[in-house]
Structure 1
Amino acid sequence: MGKSRLKRENAELLVIGKIYDQELERLLLQISRIGVPNSINTVQINLVRGMCAHLGNANVKILSTGISGLYPHNCTKAFIAGRNLRLDSQVRGRFIGYINLPIFKEISATLGIIIHALKWLYNTRKNADTRIVLTYNLYTPILLAIRLLKVFSPKLSTLLVFGDLAGEYIATSGRKGLFLHLEKYDYDFQLRLANKFDAYGLCTKWMTEAIDCTNKPYCIVEVIVDSSIDKNMKAPISSSEFRKVIMYAGTLKKEYNIDLLLEALSLLKQQDYELWIYGSGEAEIEREIRKLATQDERIKFFGYVSKDEILEAQAKADVFVNPRTNSGVFTKYSFPSKTAEVILSERPLVCFKL
């Protein structure tokens, strides 16, 4: 499914993922206690726009679901309503609503995807020589729905693109007991479904250890970024003349060595530095950051904020930092897209060789 083939054939593409536009982001942030997955959404939007450049906007449709955390711990709503999506003036799609309770979320999301995808199959039955369904990363309702779609339409081409792996291949989630066992079972089920796809876009060559690409086309896509880069990323540095700003934005997990970053700042005796931390994650890590912020005024913890607020902060930062080391096994199966964005923006970055 290379560029020449897509150009030559009359192809229709359905992208299914956890994708949201600015209006949906605003609505979800009002009800979410853990924010929304900014980095994953950015990658998916970049992927969609890249496909649109090949196929044309009219040939690309989007379905989205399952973005929020579960009610009541991570979200204030037990039902998430569906709505139309509009990434820009041309690229549009549908966000599928779901019952936001354990088990019911997965069932309702799966059924919603199947119903809307079957409509797409029916509407494109006479117009396309090739029909492709693409998804990014591993989410059980989407993987299961796509597998069932192949039953209805065996000639349908399925493409899986993902930037990290589940189960033993990535950082642990922090769950324990029964929930940990259920999560491991779900990961195994995801990998079995993933192995049923027709083609793959893999983040690293080591992903073939988990995904059987034998006799299947695949390519290595280490990172998906917008080559034009947001203007804010290349804006003149505008931080205070009395303070140098070090910025970290991302998930707060023990495996990502946030404690190492905080320790490094404690060893820095100069007082003309500030460490800005943006993001959410493990409760224990967040509590530790807040505690240290009360003891060291150089630490500024902003928690989860919108993408626009992140861009504003990036324009004021003097240097970006990513404390993830290259010693964990999960580093072989993922690559932080934020690192690539910073490198492309020609801004200073401190990180390990990943």
Structure 2
Amino acid sequence: MTRMEDSMDILLLCGYFESKYQEEISRKTKTWVENAANTFQKRLIAGFKEQGVNLKVVSAPLIGPWPTAYDDIVFRGFEAGESAENVQYVRFNNIWGYRNISRTAALKKRVRDFVRKSEAKEKAIIVYCPHTPFLEAAVYGKRLDQSIHIHMVVPDLPQYMNLSKKAHPIYDFFKSIDIQKMDRLIAQVNSFMLLTKYMADKLHVGKRPYIVVEGITDVKSIPCAEKKERGKSVAYAGKLVEAFGVKRLIEAFEMIDDQEATLHICGGGELKPYVEETCKIDNRIRYYGVVPAEKANEILQNADVLVNPRQNDDEYTKYSFPSKNIEYLMTGNAVVAYMLDGMPDEYRGLLQVPGNNSVAALAEAIRAALTDENSEQRKRQVQISRTHLYYTAVAEQICGLLNGLSH
């Protein structure tokens, strides 16, 4: 195990929230909760703690803006009280268009405290995701102390973070300005963790060091001891946006003429009314709404086939590795998914890949997965090949990178 030198202090700037606050966030959210991003951060933090680092976590939670996506005009903390994990949550004005300015100012204060109070010879700031307030605060810290190393974890590229059809032209205009600003900030980053190798070109990483890790999991062994009776349950958990193929999934399922088959969907987004209306027409389809991560995991674990209907039909797929695929595979259930350009070829043997982009091909892939006879062999393949994604292994890789650069 690679452990950090005792002389290095690490500040993690992120949008994590603890599970004790999940109910409140779900209740106040009007669109979808960033459960996948939160799970990623939770595992990252746990991994760093296993490495024995001097870690401080500061969070501006990844909630939506007021008034369109979240109830609170000002985020003042959570109703459930103080952090049980020693996470410092910053307060900020949550009004759309102003909130990033407020988030940045609040984060800068915590960064200034970190720089002034740390007596370590080596200091690092780790930024979770290309979010302007996180990057601005980190670069500010580097101005205060030129020796600070900035490491950025990049689960998605900023220009592809909102694929909703409902994005307003004003949003697109300000987003383009934000991305230009972000490019200047990213130039100050010293090292990276990327989810696909193609991200390096898009981020102009150049000769700066980086590692490629396509996801993070806390499942070391796939459940297979108590084999459940095989059924015909299909499930999807995630954002209900057309770009992710949710409408195609429902259309494909409706082509499966089997009254015993069921489709279970959870999540929120622009297609929620469509999903709700479809449930009224086809009683085999069950929609659970926006649910806590634990409930979503329960739905996935209890299913027989999990589907990620996102197709390889746009440029962004080169820079994307859906965390959903990792979560799906680690349940041990059959997984239907398309091979995206950003996914290593080795995943082809772990997935049931549709023959083409037609709805009929997706339906056929689901039918094939429902009768999969190689589930135990697939579980063994997944377990062997995904050990580098275990949360302690991911943290160890990042710490190894920081260790190497500090000497």
TM category, shorter: 0.7 to 0.9
- For structure 2, the 5+ residue unaligned runs are 341-407
Give me the whole-angstrom Cα distance separating, in 1, the residues matched to 2:76 and 2:293: 22
Tell me, yes or no, if structure 1 residue 25 matches structure 2 residue 17: no
Paired residue for 1:43? 40
| Alignment equivalent of 1:267, drawn from 252, 255, 258 | 255
Q: Which amino acid aligns with 2:94?
A: N
Would the aligned equivalents of 1:25 and 1:36 in 2 still touch at CA under 8 Å?
no
Paired residue for 2:380? none
Give me the whole-angstrom Cα distance separating, in 2, the residues matched to 1:73 and 1:238: 42
Paired residue for 1:299? 285
* CA shift for structure 1 position 171: 3.8
Give me the whole-angstrom Cα distance separating, in 2, the residues matched to 1:143 and 1:172: 24
Tell me, yes or no, if structure 1 residue 277 matches structure 2 residue 274: no
Tell me, yes or no, if structure 1 residue 54 matches structure 2 residue 42: no
Tell me, yes or no, if structure 1 residue 244 matches structure 2 residue 232: yes
| Equivalent position SS for 1:63 | strand
Tell me, yes or no, if structure 1 residue 109 matches structure 2 residue 103: yes
* CA shift for structure 1 position 318: 1.5
Would the aligned equivalents of 1:66 and 1:109 in 2 still touch at CA under 8 Å?
no
Would the aligned equivalents of 2:304 and 2:334 in 1 still touch at CA under 8 Å?
yes
| Cα 1:168/1:106, change in 2 over 3 Å | closer
Give me the whole-angstrom Cα distance separating, in 1, the residues matched to 2:225 and 2:107: 40
Alignment of 1:183-332 (within 5 A): 183-228=175-220, 244-282=232-270, 285-332=271-318
* CA shift for structure 1 position 338: 2.1
Report the identity percentage.
24
* CA shift for structure 1 position 174: 3.3
Would the aligned equivalents of 1:170 and 1:333 in 2 still touch at CA under 8 Å?
no
Q: Which amino acid aligns with 1:108?
A: S
| Equivalent position SS for 1:345 | coil
| Cα 1:12/1:131, change in 2 over 3 Å | same
Paired residue for 1:85? 83
Q: Which has the higher strand share?
A: 1
Structure of higher RCO (CA pairs closer than 8 Å, 6+ residues apart) = 2
Deviations 1:64-120 (A, max 9, x none): 114222222222221111364334xxxx21111111112331122111111112112
Q: Which amino acid aligns with 2:23?
A: R
Q: Which amino acid aligns with 2:192?
A: Y
| Cα 1:236/1:253, change in 2 over 3 Å | farther
* CA shift for structure 1 position 36: 2.2
| Equivalent position SS for 1:131 | strand
Paired residue for 2:31? 34
Give me the whole-angstrom Cα distance separating, in 1, the residues matched to 2:126 and 2:244: 29
| Equivalent position SS for 1:205 | coil
* CA shift for structure 1 position 234: 6.1
| Cα 1:207/1:352, change in 2 over 3 Å | same
Give me the whole-angstrom Cα distance separating, in 2, the residues matched to 1:339 and 1:66: 24
Alignment of 1:330-349 (within 5 A): 330-349=316-335
- For structure 1, the 5+ residue unaligned runs are none
Q: Which amino acid aligns with 1:266?
A: E
* CA shift for structure 1 position 35: 3.9
* CA shift for structure 1 position 300: 1.0
Q: Which amino acid aligns with 1:70?
A: P
* CA shift for structure 1 position 199: 0.6
* CA shift for structure 1 position 39: 0.2
Deviations 1:231-254 (A, max 9, x none): 9x7685768x8x621000011121
| Equivalent position SS for 1:45 | helix
Paired residue for 2:115? 121
Would the aligned equivalents of 1:225 and 1:337 in 2 still touch at CA under 8 Å?
no
| Cα 1:319/1:274, change in 2 over 3 Å | same
Deviations 1:11-64 (A, max 9, x none): 2111111100012222222322224210001111111222222234xx111111
Would the aligned equivalents of 1:9 and 1:129 in 2 still touch at CA under 8 Å?
no
| Equivalent position SS for 2:198 | helix
Would the aligned equivalents of 1:319 and 1:349 in 2 still touch at CA under 8 Å?
yes
Q: Which amino acid aligns with 1:346?
A: G
* CA shift for structure 1 position 9: 4.9
CA RMSD across the alignment? 2.3
Give me the whole-angstrom Cα distance separating, in 1, the residues matched to 2:84 and 2:312: 38
Tell me, yes or no, if structure 1 residue 153 matches structure 2 residue 148: no
| Cα 1:102/1:86, change in 2 over 3 Å | same
Give me the whole-angstrom Cα distance separating, in 2, the residues matched to 1:142 and 1:254: 29
